[in-house]
Structure 1
């Protein structure tokens, strides 16, 4: 190692889009290889998408590039020269900026103060007049506008995401890395943000790496795409020379033919018609408070019939989570009524049993499982105190274990056996175990939240077909999802929630993505849809 140069002798950092290559980049965590000899090339002035399922290694790769992880092997090259990026500070000095999925804005500070903080220097006395001119000049060049005096609590989730991107652009990066930048944006905002960044890249100001799992986004915005699967690079392509079917095949590790068949099978969900089905779930004027006592759901009314999937669309944070928690009994209701069939519903266990109400909450390990208990006991949580499992107050563990084994096989749950603690399972397998428990037997009403978040393709297809099977047997399904494609595929009707209200409703077959997007963005929140309940 040579001694570091005197900073005065160091060349001034270059500007403009840089070329970045990783060479055989490898990262292990204990015995787990998160990145396995991955080599990608980001051409200067392009948008390079990293596509892959959760856990494919996308985040590990970019964290190695920005100096959060030190690779065990391989190298990062910038403009053809190898650099040891030992920390995010070094990455920033080289002109690399990253926008994370989690917001890092400081809540009490204005947009202007947050931008200044991004530079890492907030002097005790800020020369505001000079700074203000600098920030206004910067804002004049930016792809989207935010009020410099607004505070994060006044900003929507989408505006916070834009602030995160502006903070990085303020540092004039030569390479900008975005981790799932559109997960909190409406389709319109996503087009605006990604289009603006692509224009900047094509003007030669910056190179962009974008982590995504949305094919549509990649096909529309990126120049190049690299597909990762289980830590390995499956392929890199010019976007113009590939198709979603081929990329999907690489993501799943399938041959192209197999994937297209799987994709077609997934798209063609068989639907039974139910002309005269009874109303199974009625929500009347329901109001629910959020975690900080604010009103999260405003006098919301909706109905679901047997044999119908009603999808709730909306950008995360618009009351969907609080609505579902209030329905399943995890959150108090302020006012309003919920009816199942012809009975007022209070989400008690006894009612769930009798009325065949089941739920698949978000983050099932946290919300629907007891982590330290075995898979068998978690699968038995609905029936451990009922005959035939419980006799004279004694729980018959052997029956519970037999039932669990049967469900483990039927739902393809990968586990070390029915006695393993449920927290030892992967996310997809926890989800399958909860699903097995909830969908076993007659289901009249199913309440589901983001059922496939973070799961691999095979698990997604399986869970979707199980949800459709409940509908096709005449059950009523209420499905909350932040993934519009999932709703368009599964739902019969779609309602859009914005700021705790239903602002739009349509038949899923006639749904227009951009119309839904406009309502999701709150474009029409002054005209709530009146619904007779």
Structure 2
């Protein structure tokens, strides 16, 4: 067995007065998959960064195969046999797969003997679970293929301990099962030990042998997966007493009051949108969203969802097609948004929906700064805006040093809450939402989901774009799947088949149709 045994003893890391990691002791058995669960800010990233040498702990120790090691840099971690696949891609887009694999080694000779290296890489690729063209460039690969390349870069270095940070966030369900299944098999064969950071209970229960839960820098518990339930893990993540609460019960009941006669609020007809490179990103997309309904849009990142949302909210020009709101041709003007009560909650709100240097009060007031009572005689009344902001800050639990603090000084979850407060203040008839909880902690996710559902239950029409299939299955009434800029599948969520949806997400529409017919 070459897999490493890893233990941390009372590992502690402080940043000034803030303790990010507080006496954490975990044990990763050799040849197993050990999952790490926890909210954002729970200490997961700090822990693994200490393991790969980016952070030096203030107290405690790291033991590999029972011997204490000082991991002072990523280079030392690599020499000790520790590798890490990061949540965001680190491949070089303009280099080939072969060049990216070789680059992972670090030091390279001035002249690379490509004939020998090519033979070595082809031999390596023949033994790997994922096959990629050595001459392909990452810019031409799908998101799932890029993630596989990230994993191959680490496997090429033959790590004894591999850390995976949210490795399935850009994968279809089939790809996720394939990737994690192959890595689990390698671990069980004794080739490598794996630490898996994930927020998906399904992955923990299906793929992990052990699981540790962190909360606010402290270890809440470590368990054999066979001996623990998702409800207990969810309770530990939230700091609840006992473990008999279901994860669904942690949020208010999400009642559904569908009406078959509900009017169409949003209609998109034959929409075409160009991408950043001048190619067609969205082709002939048509769908409807009715009052009191959430329509979810599923798809692997890079299949036109971002361009679709930008075209709907007016951030990108429409090449063709029409959009209608309550029967009126919709051009996404400010006047129409106010009159038709159209609101949006974009991905990365600090970049797409805020002015970072402006105060929280002014950002919350962007929707109504030119309307009474915030405006009088063409003059903006800052006192009124601040008063309105204080009310919404209190109502939405926005953690800030005050309404006059720059919104860029807030955490990601609190920026999201501030934008949510602005967009949901008042009557909302159409809500356009894109990856609303990306990167947010467990509690913030539940709160934002509740507020989206409240819009729907009050008769609003919600279009929800998300790369998290579990989120779509939980919230949506109907789902459509986008692949290569087109809608390739649609179904009621109540009858949705996860693997069938995944096949369409991966672009295997013909195979998915055949599978469905065979099942019938």
What TM bracket, shorter-length normalisation? Answer: over 0.9
Q: Distance in 2 between matches of 1:232 and 1:38?
A: 6
2:121 aligns with 135
| Residue pair 1:312, 1:497 contacting (<8 A) in 2 also | yes
Report SS of the residue matched to 1:218. Answer: helix
Shift of 1:297: 1.4
Per-residue deviation at 1:274?
1.6
**1:505 has 2:490 as partner:** yes
Which residue of structure 2 aligns with residue 399 of structure 1?
384
| Correspondence for 1:108 | 94
Question: If the length of structure 2 is used for normalisation, what is the TM-score?
Answer: 0.95
Contact 2:93/2:137 (8 A) holds in 1: yes
> Structure 1 CA distance, aligned partners of 2:231 and 2:114?
53
In structure 2, which of residues 444, 461, 472 is the aligned counterpart of residue 476 of structure 1?
Answer: 461
Residues 143 and 196 in structure 1, CA contact (< 8 A), matched pair in contact too: yes
Residue 85 of structure 2 corresponds to 99
Task: Give distance in 1, aligned partners of 2:319 and 2:510.
Answer: 22
Aligned residue number for residue 516 of structure 2: none
State the SS of the aligned residue for 1:518. Answer: helix
* RMSD, aligned CA: 1.9
Q: 1:265 to 1:86 in 2, by over 3 A?
A: closer
Q: Work out the CA distance in 1 between the residues paired with 2:388 and 2:244.
A: 33
* Compared CA separation, residues 386 and 267, structure 1 to 2 (3 A): closer
Moved more, 176-185 or 249-258: 249-258
| Maintained 8 Å contact 1:46/1:208 | yes
Distance apart, 1:407 and its partner CA: 1.9
Residues 1:80 and 2:70 are matched in the alignment: no
- Structure 2: gaps spanning 5 or more residues: 514-520
Per-residue deviation, residues 294-348 of structure 1 (Å, max 9, x unmatched): 3221221111111110001111221111111111111222222111122221111
CA offset at residue 53 of structure 1?
1.7
What is the distance in 2 between the residues matched to 1:371 and 1:115?
38
Preserved contact between residue 26 and residue 35 of structure 1 (Cα < 8 Å): yes
Shift of 1:426: 2.2
**Deviations, residues 181-216 of structure 1 (Å, cap 9, x unaligned):** 111111111111111111111111111111111110
Aligned to 1:157: 143
1:521 CA drift (Å): 1.1
Within 5 Å, which residues of 2 pair with 1:252-267?
Answer: 252-256=238-242, 259-260=245-246, 263-264=248-249, 266=251
- Matching of residue 329 in structure 1 with residue 314 in structure 2: yes
Structure 2 CA distance for aligned equivalents of residues 470 and 401 of structure 1 = 25
Task: Say which of 278, 287, 292 aligns to 2:277.
Answer: 292
Query: C-alpha separation between the residues in 2 aligned to 1:108 and 1:124?
Result: 20
The 8 Å contact of residues 401 and 418 in structure 1, kept in 2 or not, is answered as: yes
* Equivalent residue, structure 1, for 2:8: 22
CA distance in 1, matches of 2:365, 2:163: 45
Match of 2:236 in 1: 250
CA deviation string 1:219-277 (max 9, x = no partner): 111111111111111111111111111111111111235743x6236485201122211
Q: Does the 8 A contact of 2:503 with 2:511 survive in 1?
A: no
- Alignment partner, residue 380 of structure 1: 365
* Distance (Å, rounded) in 1 between the aligned partners of 2:129 and 2:155: 10
Number of corresponding residues: 513
**Structure-2 residue corresponding to 1:10:** none
2:222 aligned with 1:223:
no
Return the alpha-carbon distance in structure 2 between the equivalents of residues 238 and 345 of structure 1: 54
The Cα shift of 1:527 comes to 10
Is the CA contact (8 Å cut-off) linking 1:447 and 1:479 kept in structure 2?
A: yes
In the TM superposition, 1:274-293 aligns within 5 A as 274-293=259-278
Task: Output the CA distance in 1 between the equivalents of 2:384 and 2:101.
Answer: 61
Q: Is the 8 A contact 1:503 1:527 kept in 2?
A: no
CA apart distance, 1:525: 7.6
Q: What SS does the aligned partner of 1:334 have?
A: strand
Residue in structure 2 matched with residue 31 of structure 1 by the alignment: 17
Relative to structure 2, which stretch is displaced further, 218-227 or 121-130? 121-130
TM-score by length of 1: 0.92
Whether 1:184 and 2:199 are equivalent positions in the alignment is no
Task: Pick the aligned partner of 2:413 from 428, 434, 437.
Answer: 428
Q: Per-residue displacement from partner, 1:106-159 (whole Å, max 9, x unpaired)?
A: 222222222222222444443333333322221222112112222212211111
Assess if the C-alpha contact under 8 Å between 1:53 and 1:454 holds in 2: no
Deviation of 1:499 after TM superposition, in Å, equals 1.6
